[in-house]
């Protein structure tokens, strides 16, 4: 049986953030769970990418500039985008 390519990428290169601060005895158990949870994590990645696209559409709308505090909104959108991208980068498939 062939392995799912996404599983191979998790086996080769899971983000070190996943196991950071875990005790050695818990690291392997966690990585096994991560390798086998591609359905949930894959769906989470899709949801986050949809949010990112929605955010991009929202921030280029001309109505954003109707508010005197548009600069603060832009800063907020930038922070949200950075957070979403960081979380997406943790999902290795």
Could you tell me the residue ranges of all domains in the chain? 5-90
**pTM above the 0.85 mark?**
no
Helix (H) or strand (E) holding 30: helix 24-36
Other C-beta atoms closer than 10 Å to the C-beta of 89 total 11
pLDDT tens per residue, range 56-89 = 887 777 887 888 998 898 899 999 999 999 999 9
What is the structure's pLDDT at 13? 60
> Given a cut of 70, is residue 42 above it in pLDDT?
yes
Mean pLDDT of the chain: 83
Q: Do the beta carbons of residue 59 and residue 74 sit within 8 Å? A: yes
What would the two tokens of residue 93 be?
């498939």
């Amino acid at each position: 049986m062939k392995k799912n390519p996404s599983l191979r990428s998790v086996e080769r290169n899971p983000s070190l953030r996943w196991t950071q601060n875990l005790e050695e005895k818990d690291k392997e158990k966690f990585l096994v769970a991560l390798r086998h949870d591609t359905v949930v994590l894959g769906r989470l990645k899709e949801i986050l990418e949809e949010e990112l696209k929605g955010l991009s559409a929202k921030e280029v709308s001309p109505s954003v500039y109707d508010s005197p505090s548009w600069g603060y909104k832009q800063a907020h959108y930038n922070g949200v985008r950075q957070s979403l991208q960081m979380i997406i980068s943790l999902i290795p498939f």
